[in-house]
Amino acid sequence: TLDNSKFLPTFKRLGCYKDAGWRALPHRFRKDKYGTDIRFSFENCGELARKSNLRYFGLQYGGQCFAGNDYNRAIRLGRRPES
C-alpha cells in the first residue's frame, strides 16, 4: 500500500467565518481547463490556492472555492457557527 499522506500539503483549519457581498477571500477559482464551472473539494481548493501563492482559502455553497492572502480581511466579519 502506498501512503500518499507524506506527499500532500498540510492545511490548518481556522474555522468558519462570515462573508458579505464583497469577498473576504477575493480570488475565486471557478473553471476547469475546459471553461466549465466546477465544485471543489477541500483538498482541490487548498492545492489551487497553494499553487497560486494564496495563503488562505475556503469553501462556500457546497464547493465554491475562494482564496486570498489577507488574514485580517478574511476574518473581518467574525466567526460563524461550524456547518
- Flag whether pLDDT at 4 surpasses 50: no
Convert the pLDDT of each residue in 10-21 to its tens digit: 788 888 888 877
- Residue 58 to residues 1, 6, 7, 30, 40, Cα–Cα distance (Å): 31, 23, 21, 13, 10
Least confident of 5-9, 12-16, 37-41, 65-69: 5-9
Q: What is the pTM of this model?
A: 0.78
Residue 23 phi/psi, 5-degree rounding, is -90, 130
Convert the pLDDT of each residue in 59-81 to its tens digit: 888 788 999 999 999 988 888 88
